[in-house]
Amino acid sequence: MTGRVPRAFVDDLLNRVDIVEVIDARVPLRKKGREYWACCPFHGEKTPSFSVSPNKQFYHCFGCQQSGNAIGFLMDYDHMEFVEAIETLSQSLGLEVPYEQGRGPQKTQVADSLFDTLQACSQFYQQQLKDSQMAIDYLRQRGISGQTAKDFAIGYAPSGWRNIAGDQKLLVEGGMLIEKDNGQHYDRFRNRLMFPIRDRRGRTIAFGGRVFDAEDNPKYLNSPETPVFHKGEEIYGLYELRKAVPRIDRIFVTEGYMDVVALAEHGFKTAVATLGTAINNAQIEKLFRSCKTLIFCFDGDAAGKKAAWRSLEQCPASLKEGRLARFLFLPDGHDPDSFIREQGASAFEQEIEKSATLTEFLFKTLLTECNVKSAEGKSRFVDRLRPYFMQIPLQSLKDQILVEVEKQLSVPLDNRLMLSLGETGKAQPPRTIIPENRWTPVKLAINLLLQKPQLGLGVGAQHHLAEVSLAGVDLLMQILDIVQEEPDISSQNLLSRFDESNHKQHLYQLAAVQPAMESEENIDLMFSDCLQRIQNKYIGVRREQLIRKLQSGETLTDAEKREHKQLFTKRF
């Protein structure tokens, strides 16, 4: 949605709005010294560590490290999209948003029409549930009360092919009707229990339909991708839990809508479910923004362990300070829904106590796969561990893992095999300015530019570095070009340049990571060192190219001769 509002207007809006007023209307602030303070609205705490600066027009939590401007606060606290936050702030100041020519609110109007259509479908299904004794009896048999059904807006799609009424074009676009080759339409959902999927603002964006008879297939049927529904971005139950629980300590990640509803019925109101696909890192990040502990719940059979492993693979990069991922395996034949109905809340709580941490599950799985009594098994163990280990941003956790590896493999930390993990495990400060967690020079250079864009000024044209076969070099060159074209660009505006590119998610995640450094003053030296390392790589590549040309009997041009001399004296 970014790019629909002129950047100059956004800058002017931020200059006009008072962030203290914006936040105080939602979170009561108290002035202390020059700043305003409150208990952080983004994580539970008893001592205020959430600071709002009227001079800098910036907020920062010293507990969870969340920070931003007025637009960012509305996006995080009120769960708004970027343009929605701009529209809200503009309305509070009596300003009209000057949408760019040809990029006005037409797309928003279409989305609003879809939201209205899908909400009408949800209301229709809820009324059908009230009128269907069969559907009511089914919910009662599953132990679901009327209040819980109401909380989740559960409905019933009756049998028949043409029950949904309304604008057929919108119903097709919203995934509620299927259009046949002859232009006729029929209902996508028939004789199913209906679970509306709602976005973070509570708007119905899609549905999941469950069969009543376990013999029918597919068991679950989801809405297709639509202009307002993107399966890989949404999580079932997240809106409901935020509405029901003001302070979220833990979130249970399940695989089915009935799991979420059954857990809520028994008092576990912080359960969510993926939408028929394995969870991805973006969804994990979204959940971690709501709490610090995720508990992944699975069946204890082979299929459950396989699904758990797919979830584990998406977790390591998100294990920042204070975050914890646990894995709960229920007895064979049970999912959270069946287990809690048969065994009750106390038994489920006992299962939670037995859940494994990510590292426990990781080690148990790898030790089963690898015979670490043999040299080959130890090598395989390290090779299997390495990709997950290297993603972890938290050095203290990596140190603990190294100690456990040393114990399990009976190999000292300074052994070559251990060093191949990319860490020494020693707690001493790094002797170089490159952080211990082995960022590549390109990745670190991009991170530093996102923190301080003006680092890219004065470095000159670096397009020759694109010849280096290092991941991310093209993106680095693109960022340097932007900085040199817009010398005063801020970090936020630099990031926004990529909001509609494939790099968006990666850059926002990268910008959220603070690389280790001895002092803030070292950031300039750190950036120069990164460029020099990339330059050295280029020198090596270019040397090889010229040597191969000479060896093939070709004659170097005068320019290539000068370059050859410079390269071999390291004065390129």
∠ at Cα 113 (225, 207), nearest 5°? 40
The yes-or-no verdict on residue 310 having pLDDT over 70 is: yes
Secondary structure of residue 310 in the 3-state scheme: helix
Between 60 and 4, the more confident residue is 60
Query: Tokens 């600066």 — which residue?
Result: 53
Same topology, domains 7-92 and 441-568? Answer is no
Q: Domain 106-222, CATH 3.90.980.10 — does that match?
A: yes
Q: Are 152 and 195 in contact (CB under 8 A)?
A: yes
**Side by side, which strands form the sheet with 30-32?**
30-32, 35-38, 50-53, 58-61, 67-68
CATH number assigned to the domain covering 238-363: 3.40.1360.10
Crossing angle between the packed helical segments 358-369 and 375-391, to the nearest 10 degrees? 150
Percent share of the chain, pLDDT over 70: 84
The yes-or-no verdict on residue 520 having pLDDT over 70 is: no
- Quote the DSSP letter at residue 92: H
Residues 6+ apart with CB under 8 A from 353: none
Residues 6+ apart with CB under 8 A from 408: 363, 367, 372, 381
pLDDT at residue number 466: 60
β pairing state of 250-254 and 67-68: unpaired
Q: Are 138 and 212 in contact (CB under 8 A)?
A: yes
Weakest-pLDDT range from 75-84, 127-136, 433-442, 479-488: 433-442
Tell me the CA end-to-end span of the chain in Å, nearest whole number.
43
The yes-or-no verdict on residue 101 having pLDDT over 70 is: no
pLDDT at residue number 44: 72
CA distance 398 to 436: 10
Q: Across 147-151, 431-435, 562-566, which has the greatest mean pLDDT?
A: 147-151
CA distance 79 to 551: 63
What is the domain class of 7-92 according to CATH? alpha beta
pLDDT band of 164, cuts 50, 70, 90: very high
Domain with residues 441-568, CATH architecture: Orthogonal Bundle (1.10)
CA distance 466 to 481: 13
pLDDT at residue number 515: 66
pLDDT band of 433, cuts 50, 70, 90: very low
The yes-or-no verdict on residue 414 having pLDDT over 70 is: no
pLDDT band of 34, cuts 50, 70, 90: confident
pLDDT digits (tens, 9 = 90+) for 276-293: 888 998 899 888 877 889
Question: Averaged over 172-193, what is the pLDDT?
Answer: 93
Between 82 and 156, the more confident residue is 156
Average pLDDT, the chain: 83
Question: Averaged over 167-190, what is the pLDDT?
Answer: 93
Weakest-pLDDT range from 118-132, 295-309, 480-494: 480-494
The yes-or-no verdict on residue 315 having pLDDT over 80 is: yes
pTM summary value: 0.63
pLDDT at residue number 437: 47
pLDDT at residue number 509: 64
pLDDT at residue number 500: 63
Task: Dig out the tokens for 122 from the structure.
Answer: 């949800």
Query: Tokens 């009896």 — which residue?
Result: 137
pLDDT at residue number 332: 86
pLDDT at residue number 568: 56
pLDDT at residue number 129: 97
CA distance 566 to 568: 6
pLDDT at residue number 322: 84
Q: Are 372 and 378 in contact (CB under 8 A)?
A: yes
pLDDT at residue number 432: 31
Q: What is the 3-state secondary structure (H, E, C) of 286-300?
A: HHHCCCCEEEEEEEC
pLDDT digits (tens, 9 = 90+) for 388-406: 998 888 888 988 998 899 8
Crossing angle between the packed helical segments 395-409 and 358-369, to the nearest 10 degrees? 30
Render the burial of 410-444: b for 16+ CB within 10 Å, e for the rest.
Answer: ebebeeebbeebebebeeeeeeebbbbbebebbbb
Q: Across 228-232, 344-348, 551-555, 562-566, which has the greatest mean pLDDT?
A: 344-348
pLDDT at residue number 461: 60
Between 151 and 289, the more confident residue is 151
CA distance 85 to 14: 11
Weakest-pLDDT range from 179-183, 306-310, 366-370, 511-515: 511-515
Q: Are 299 and 178 in contact (CB under 8 A)?
A: no
pLDDT at residue number 427: 34
pLDDT digits (tens, 9 = 90+) for 438-497: 578 888 889 888 888 888 887 766 656 666 667 788 888 889 888 888 888 877 677 767
Percent share of the chain, pLDDT over 90: 38
Cα dist from 518 to 178, 423, 431, 434, whole Å: 60, 18, 10, 10
pLDDT digits (tens, 9 = 90+) for 204-262: 999 999 999 877 888 889 999 999 998 888 999 999 998 888 778 899 999 999 999 99
The yes-or-no verdict on residue 360 having pLDDT over 90 is: yes
* Cβ atoms < 10 Å from Cβ of 55: 7
Question: What does the DSSP assignment read for 443-509?
Answer: HHHHHHHHH-GGGGTTS---GGGGGS--TTHHHHHHHHHHHHHSTT--HHHHHHTTTTSTTHHHHHH
Indicate the length of the chain as a whole number. 572
pLDDT at residue number 565: 60
pLDDT at residue number 248: 86
pLDDT at residue number 66: 78
pLDDT band of 186, cuts 50, 70, 90: very high
pLDDT at residue number 560: 64
pLDDT band of 431, cuts 50, 70, 90: very low
Domain positions in the chain: 7-92, 106-222, 238-363, 370-419, 441-568
Question: What does the DSSP assignment read for 241-287?
Answer: HHHH-SS--EEEEES-HHHHHHHHHTT---EEE-SSS---HHHHHHH
pLDDT at residue number 514: 60
Between 264 and 387, the more confident residue is 264
CA distance 400 to 406: 10
∠ at Cα 162 (161, 166), nearest 5°? 150
pLDDT band of 435, cuts 50, 70, 90: very low
